[in-house]
Homo-oligomer: A and B are copies of this chain.
């Protein structure tokens, strides 16, 4: 229902990645090809890190991304080595800044594409499971934000894959208790400003698409007309809901039910297995 993008690597002007590619995220806000919805006009968000600040900056807007002038200004004047952008197609909850991704807690950012099915049925049970100390930080009404605070409750800051696996297991248990066949559908991107984790999973094992750039030689080719991108390091990576350009070999699909870790040193790709409570389903 949404589209997102994560960039990590050599610092670049955000617009180089967000606006310049042929089928950029901004273009996808009007004309998504692979999404459940073709239009993603229910607000957007951008979160970026810079070396000095303790917490990332977030910029949220309820205007469609394609005509937001402030986004264009920020993107064309801010350089960053790590940023997440998200365009929203609401699955029902209000269009307001507090429902825009990325969600932020301390130095963490979180974006989500997908939905918690029949969220109104399970919202209360999920909210009650959020740690008491975290509960007051929930500002909006989006399912995606509740997933973030559940993951934080389950230890996101210590072991992200384990926390997300427990979070998903919990959501599935609660959903099934309410008679929901396929409780969750998701791709998720999250980062602490150093490492980036990207998850692809759905209860029905038919998850929203997710791609990662193969390696930077390919990215350099993709942007052959952008001199500044020719200088980015080999470790630079882009993860996207759908490819930014049509270029054979440039993108790998994140496999069904798996997650990737983009970090200093070797990147990793693992199977994703929801963890259920002992007395769970």
Q: Which of A14-70 contact B (CB under 8 A)?
A: 30-31, 38-39, 41-42, 48, 50, 52-53, 57-64, 66-67, 69-70
Does A76 sit within 8 A of B, measured CB to CB? yes
Tally chain A residues at the interface, Cβ within 8 Å.
49
CB distance from A32 to the nearest CB of B (A): 11
CB distance from A123 to the nearest CB of B (A): 5
User: Which chain B residues border A58 with CB–CB below 8 Å?
Assistant: 73
Closest chain B residue, CB of each to CB of A68: B95
Q: Is the CB of B53 within 8 A of A76?
A: yes
Q: Is the CB of B97 within 8 A of A97?
A: no
Closest chain B residue, CB of each to CB of A42: B67
User: Which chain B residues border A136 with CB–CB below 8 Å?
Assistant: 119-121, 123-124
Q: Is the CB of A61 within 8 A of B67?
A: no
User: Which chain B residues border A94 with CB–CB below 8 Å?
Assistant: 69, 96-98, 139
User: Which chain B residues border A140 with CB–CB below 8 Å?
Assistant: 141
Knowing A41-B39, A77-B50, A78-B78, say if A98 contacts B141 (CB, 8 Å). Answer: yes
In angstroms, Cα B73 to Cα A97, docked, is 13
Does A261 sit within 8 A of B, measured CB to CB? no
Closest chain B residue, CB of each to CB of A58: B73
Q: Is the CB of A39 within 8 A of B30?
A: yes
In angstroms, Cα B202 to Cα A3, docked, is 38
**A contact set with B: CB distance below 8 Å:** 30-31, 38-39, 41-42, 48, 50, 52-53, 57-64, 66-67, 69-70, 73-74, 76-79, 90, 93-98, 119-121, 123-124, 127-128, 132, 135-136, 138-141
Pick the 4 closest A-B CB pairs, nearest first.
A120-B136, A57-B77, A96-B96, A124-B135
Q: Mind listing 14 A-B residue pairs with CB under 8 Å?
A: A39-B41, A41-B66, A42-B64, A52-B79, A53-B77, A57-B73, A59-B74, A63-B63, A93-B139, A94-B139, A121-B136, A128-B128, A138-B141, A140-B141
